[in-house]
Amino acid sequence: MDELDLVKSHGGRTAPHRIIQKHYENDSAIAAMKSRVSLLTTLHQGWDGYDALPISNQVVANMNAFLANVNEKDLTGWRALPEINGTISLQNDEKRAGIQVGDTAFSYFVISGNHVSGNDNVMFTIPSLLDVLRKING
């Protein structure tokens, strides 16, 4: 089992604990991400040791719908992390990019050199999220 740091909270706070996630070598990227999303649904109010919200049911539904439409290549290098506002952040360190999935919208960023590009409050649809993910992946 690997321990994963979960949180970058407001004001630079970090969670006082870690959540354990099992990784199996034979898991596909999609299966691993589905497992991770399922794990994140177990977080309760205050999971960061402060006042973080649990992951929203609608966010989980959005992530599951998204995961039903991706392929293995789409998820290479991406990991899912909880955010204190009840959303899920997809992060890719190699691409220096992140996507935050909310109830009705998502936001994303990409860092290239000293330049940050992205968009905030994009209406959540599977095609729009897949389009952004695949553009980031190149």
Q: pLDDT tier at 22 (50, 70, 90 boundaries)?
A: very low
* Predicted pLDDT at 4: 39
What is the DSSP code (8-state) at residue 11? G
Burial of 88 (0-12, 13-18, 19+ CB in 10 A): buried
Q: Mean pLDDT over residues 30-50, rounded?
A: 94
pLDDT over 70 at 136, yes or no: yes
pLDDT over 90 at 11, yes or no: no
Task: Read off the pTM.
Answer: 0.82
Q: Mean pLDDT over residues 77-90, rounded?
A: 96
